[in-house]
Amino acid sequence: MERVVLGLAGARGYVGQELLRILARHPRFALSFVASRTHAGKRVAEHLQGAPPDLVFEELGPEAIAARRADAVVLALPNDAAAPYVAALEPRTVIVDVSADHRFDDAWVYGLPELDRARLRGASRIANPGCYATAAALVVAPVAPLLDGPAEAFGVSGYSGAGATPSPRNDVEALRDNLMPYALVGHVHEREVTRHAGPVCLMPHVAPFFRGIAMTVALRLREPLEAAALRALYEGAYEGEPLVRITTEAPLVRAAMNLPYATIGGFAVDPERRRAVVVATLDNLLKGAASQAVQNLNLAFGFPELTGIEPWPS
């Protein structure tokens, strides 16, 4: 079976590490190069069990990556770093950008399969959604036509969401016995969800756990709605979706850790006030980033959507 030649740029961060873990065991992608200035010269197998023994981290700039002529390149780079790589790569090369650089660019397909699967099939430029945005968009999209004003989304992420570069939001001591609010107005994921799913006001927070997101979303409805009808709406919207699960109870963030799917539940309703609350959880490094990027790659190349993702190792 012919395999697709793929390269990864940016393997130092947590998302890059998760991408490596998935791609190293993917049956249809051949990982040709892994670009990382920090780990340059080291064998990938030293950091990841099961990686090809001859694969070495390399320091590769945009032109060097383009010269490898891979069929696909995943850019797991910091925000505002993707442009020279995109400019250097050929139009035929499938690019999945995990950063926020192209989520507002109409020339790129927004990579949330549950909302735009048809456009992802055969796409060559894919903007992978943000982690908070994935959780909030999955809640907002099914009810957007019913809303009487923006949804209010209270999001709590593990500190891996702040990346590996030291900052107050991933300082374990600063977070100990603490909950840290930040960017409470105008967060990029707030604008992202509003653009692609429906109006939302996002209030992000960081907590002392490492990975996972809990997103509690308050919905102001135009008309009263019973809880059973609200749940049925979500069940209909996500029927057959392999990586979205619907539950009656509000899901717990610890149950989402290390798993590639989102869970939506709670479905509390105050009909007199035309108000509902829905909760979503997911792993910010997986459905919020790496496994979703692979889901998008599978769609772009016409592979079964869960290739390399399911069955998920325990």
Q: Are 19 and 46 in contact, with CB atoms under 8 Å apart?
A: no
Q: Is residue 309 part of a domain?
A: no
Q: Count the domains in the chain.
A: 2
pLDDT tens per residue across span 253-262 = 999 999 999 9
Please provide the average confidence, as pLDDT, over all residues in the chain: 95
Evaluate the CA torsion angle 286, 123, 191, 216 in order and state its sign. negative
CATH code, domain with 18: 3.40.50.720
pLDDT digits 0-9 by tens, 120-163:
999 999 999 999 999 999 999 999 999 999 999 999 999 999 88
Domain of residue 90 covers 4-128+289-301
Q: Same domain for 250 and 297?
A: no
27 plus 111 within the same structural domain: yes
Average pLDDT over residues 243-267: 97
Q: Which residues are CB-contacts of 299 (< 8 A; sequence separation ≥ 6)?
A: 113, 117, 120, 121, 123, 305
For the stretch 224-239, pLDDT in tens is 999 999 999 999 999 9
Q: Is pLDDT of 77 > 90?
A: yes
Cα 9 to Cα 77: distance, rounded to the nearest angstrom: 7
User: Do 164 and 256 fall into the same domain?
Assistant: yes
pLDDT for the residue 313:
60
Same domain, 247 and 296: no
Residue 1 has pLDDT above 80, yes or no: no
Whether residue 312 lies inside any domain: the answer is: no
42 within a domain of the structure (yes/no): yes
Q: Residue 246: give its domain's CATH number.
A: 3.30.360.10
Q: Are 55 and 175 contained in the same domain?
A: no
> Do both 106 and 10 map to the same domain?
yes
Amino acid in position 128: N
Query: 218 Cβ partners below 8 Å, 6+ apart?
Result: 151, 152, 153, 154, 275, 276, 277
State the catalytic residue, choosing from 131, 215, 285, 297: 131
My answer on whether 254 and 159 are in the same domain is yes
The residues pairing with 157 across neighbouring beta strands, listed in sequence order, are 206, 213
Is 168 contained in some domain?
A: yes
The answer on 54 and 159 residing in a single domain is no
Say if residue 224 is preceded by a cis peptide, omega within 30 of 0.
Answer: no
- pLDDT per position as a tens digit, 4-50: 999 999 987 899 999 999 998 899 999 999 999 888 989 988 877 77
Same domain, 27 and 141: no
| Position 306 in a domain | no
Query: 77 and 16 share a domain?
Result: yes
Identify whether 201 is a catalytic site residue. no
Count the residues in the chain.
314
Residues 203 and 106 in one domain: no
- How far apart CA 287 and CA 205 sit, in angstroms, is 19
Residue 110 belongs to a domain: yes
